[in-house]
């Protein structure tokens, strides 16, 4: 037996004030998108803004359903919308903001596992990394240079 160590690195910003101006604007768009979340069950609202290489910005917010598996996370709403509307565009950057109606969210909130897998599909498909910035309602922001930092053992089409 041998041990395998995997290390990743992220950039940590103390607040959105430290972000580059284009990313700060993208995060502000994600915060606005969060207001459109339909979250009557979890009371946890997520907004996403995606910058595409064609200059377009695509947004998403989580959309819940009484039959929980039928709902969709904000990240997948935005990624699937981008793929359906702009199939030839590459995703350059993604900004994610999450807030709870019942608890303060001051720590950066990363995408869930299902969203990581969906983002991975697009990163592999476009053969270029996607910068992912994520935060809670307030506080710091983490930046990942690629989805591979968040999901180092990616399941992709090469396994099929």
How far is 144 from 156, CA to CA, in rounded Å? 20
3-state class of 103 per DSSP?
coil
DSSP string, 145-159: SSHHHH-SS---GGG
> Any bridge partners for residue 59, and if so which?
49
> Any bridge partners for residue 63, and if so which?
38, 72
Instruction: Give the residue from 75, 49, 81 showing the smallest Cα distance to 62.
Output: 75
Q: How far is CA 160 from the centre of its chain?
A: 25
By annotation, the residues acting in catalysis are 75
């Amino acid at each position: 037996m041998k041990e395998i160590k995997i290390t990743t690195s992220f950039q940590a910003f103390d607040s959105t004030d430290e972000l580059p101006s284009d990313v700060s604007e993208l995060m502000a768009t994600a915060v606005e998108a969060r207001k459109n979340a339909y979250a009557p069950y979890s009371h946890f609202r997520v907004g996403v803004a995606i910058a595409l290489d064609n200059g377009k910005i695509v947004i998403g917010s989580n959309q819940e359903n009484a039959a929980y598996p039928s709902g969709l996370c904000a990240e997948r709403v935005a990624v699937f919308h981008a793929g359906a509307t702009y199939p030839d565009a590459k995703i350059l950057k993604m900004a994610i903001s999450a807030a709870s109606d019942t608890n303060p969210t001051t720590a950066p909130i990363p995408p869930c596992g299902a969203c990581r897998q969906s983002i991975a599909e697009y990163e592999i498909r476009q053969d270029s990394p996607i910068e992912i910035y994520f935060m809670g309602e307030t506080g710091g922001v983490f930046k990942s240079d690629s989805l591979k930092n968040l999901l180092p053992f990616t399941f992709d089409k090469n396994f099929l």
